[in-house]
A and B are shown apart, each in its own frame.
Chain A
Amino acid sequence: MSTELITQLGYVVASGLFIFGLKMLGSPATARRGNMFSALGMLVAIVAALLDQGIVDFTWIVAGMLVGGAIGAVAARAVAMTSMPEMVALFNGLGGAASLLVGWSALSPDSGTITLVTIVLSILIGGVTLTGSLIAYGKLSEKIGSGAITFSGQQIVNSLVVIGILGGAVMFCLNPTDPNWLYLVIGLALLFGIMAVIPIGGADMPVVISLLNSYSGLAACAAGFAINNNALIVAGSLVGASGIILTQIMCKAMNRSLSNVLFSGFASVSNEETVVEGEIKPITADDAYYVLEAATNVAIIPGYGMAVAQAQHVVKELTELLEKNGCEVNFGIHPVAGRMPGHMNVLLAEADVPYDQLLEMDEINPRMETVDVAIVIGANDVVNPAAREVESSPIYGMPVINVADARTVFVLKRSMASGFAGIENPLFYKENTRMLFGDAKESIATLVREFS
């Protein structure tokens, strides 16, 4: 059997393991083993690649793998779960950069036209993914302002960049020996990544990292075409599909189209004043304790504010005390709660909340009428009844968790400032809503002390 054949069979086995691993991610009970199968697939693919007869010198391969592996291992251990969105954003960028380099490096004087086209594609997608992800990382980690950056003539500049990319790409395919066209395409792709992400506001970042996740897969896919490699195409398209599905879910959860997210910052949506009736009714932690002690069914609706206050561990303590008191406790998690898809679930899982207590929006909403107390912690827009009731609201039509259907609603909030999207929330003025002002972590810690 030739080594070429062994390598190809290795790729087949690896692809099978990736697919199997992804299938096992369908349930939290098997997900961890699924991830290991996927990692095993990667190992098989790497060993198969190392058998390549064309390799004369392993020194730099091993050096690169050791350095990269060490950086990856340290990052994976050190990262805090609240910072997962930043890490995923950064890793998307690295994936894009790797595909850009592979495409570039695959360029040889005897490349045919089809190969040249795929090389350009992998450089383009990889470049856009790289700088787009770096900007997303900067916004998420607040190293640069998280707001939408817009300026007049932005559309024109972007159009010129796109035309430049198309022109440069065509010229490069016609004159592959002139590196200047290649440099132009690389430069413009990097510029376009920046231009594409700066006008997108902080609240839309979950959509953007999902989309960049998809791009990093598509870039690997394009690189696979450039170097004729099946493993890259299969794995890349799986990642591409995953990112696209998550992007769709996020857009649906915000009731916005993808083009609306990409091309108009939330800020530009007309902020009509909603006339809110009723008054704010504050409650003290003491009184809140008496209500909770009598409750038999409590729903907790967390938002990113819970993670900012680092309140998830005290929330878990409160959950245990309530359960000891004979109360049923569930968590209602909105798809865009947190800063990336599923972020809240990971933060709560880290605080030892069992995953069967984490309910999706569509599961918790029908039960809301039987809930005695709904506790909203650091969430705002995802529980805003204006989305259902106020047609002029910018978030009208967005699916929300209907906390107002519960008998009593406690809203834990630092002050009366409005949420990430800057939209007034009529929930705070509802008849059955009580505001528990103060730091979420301290408020809950007070409740925990009252119980014990």
Chain B
Amino acid sequence: MSGAEYLLFILMLSIFLGFELINKVPATLHTPLMSGANAVSGITVVGAISLAGTGSETMAMWLGVGAVTLASINVVGGYLVTDRMLGFFKKKEG
């Protein structure tokens, strides 16, 4: 198995898994879930890295550099703000 059909296979499994997992997230954590999802969608940085590292100074490379920068904002900002928020959630003492 190779190419597009293999990727589709992965897509299908991850969508089902995503639905199962996210349905179990309680309503109280929906905002951190969204900001955490922002961070995860910064995964585009992984794809952008190889495009930005060609050293060719072509337009494609500059587009890649732009993508690395934007996605890095998502990754770092998303994880940090989610951590900050989750730090507020405390159980009742005693």
Interface residues of A (CB under 8 A from B): 11, 15, 18-19, 21-23, 25-29, 31-32, 35-36, 38-39, 42, 45-46, 48-50, 52, 54-58, 60-61, 63-65, 67-73, 75-77, 79, 81, 84, 87-88, 91-92, 94-95, 97-99, 101-102, 104-108, 114, 209-210, 213, 216-217, 219-221, 223-225, 227-243, 245-246, 249, 333, 335, 340-343, 345-346, 349-350, 352, 354-358, 360
Contact = CB atoms under 8 A, between A and B. Distances in A.
A219 B10 CA distance: 16
A19 B20 CA distance: 11
A233 B33 CA distance: 19
A19 B67 contact: no
B86 A26 contact: no
A106 B67 CA distance: 11
Interface in B37-68: 37-55, 60-61, 63-68
Given A39-B39, A354-B90, 17 more contacts: A15-B14, A29-B91, A31-B29, A31-B89, A32-B86, A46-B45, A46-B46, A60-B68, A77-B84, A81-B85, A94-B73, A230-B7, A232-B46, A335-B27, A345-B31, A352-B90, A355-B89
Given A64-B72, A88-B35, A94-B74, A22 B88 contact: no
A358 B28 contact: yes
Nearest to B36: A35
30 contacts: A21-B36, A22-B21, A42-B39, A46-B75, A49-B45, A52-B50, A56-B55, A64-B52, A64-B72, A72-B80, A75-B73, A76-B80, A76-B81, A91-B73, A94-B71, A95-B38, A98-B45, A105-B61, A108-B60, A217-B41, A230-B7, A231-B46, A238-B22, A240-B18, A241-B18, A249-B30, A340-B34, A350-B88, A354-B90, A354-B93
Interface of B: 4, 7, 10-11, 14-15, 17-19, 21-55, 60-61, 63-93
A71 B80 CA distance: 12
Contact of B91 (A45, A49, A229, A354): A354
Contacts of B75: 42, 46, 68-69, 72
A11 B24 CA distance: 25
Contact of A105 (B38, B40, B64, B91): B64
Contact of A107 (B21, B33, B60): B60
A215 to B, nearest CB: 10
A423 to B, nearest CB: 24
Nearest to A97: B70
A228 B40 CA distance: 18
Contact of B90 (A23, A209, A355): A355
A42 B28 CA distance: 25
9 nearest A-B pairs in the assembled complex, by CB-CB distance: A68-B72, A241-B18, A72-B77, A342-B30, A57-B55, A55-B53, A72-B76, A64-B68, A76-B80
Nearest to A349: B88
Given A45-B43, A341-B27, A345-B28, A84 B71 contact: no
Chain A residues touching B, majority SS:
helix
B73 A68 contact: yes
B33 A342 contact: yes
A46 B11 CA distance: 21
Nearest to B64: A105
Which of B4, B34, B41, B87 counts the most A-chain CB atoms under 10 A from its CB? B41
B14 A233 contact: yes
A350 B21 CA distance: 26
B53 A58 contact: yes
A24 to B, nearest CB: 10
Given A49-B50, A225-B7, A42 B43 contact: yes
Which of B23, B38, B66, B87 counts the most A-chain CB atoms under 10 A from its CB? B38
A75 B77 contact: yes
B40 A18 contact: yes
B33 A61 contact: no
A88 B34 contact: yes
B73 to A, nearest CB: 4
Contacts of A25: 25, 29, 32-33, 36
Contacts of A60: 52-53, 61, 65, 68
A210 to B, nearest CB: 7
B43 A236 contact: yes
B53 A346 contact: no
B81 A216 contact: no
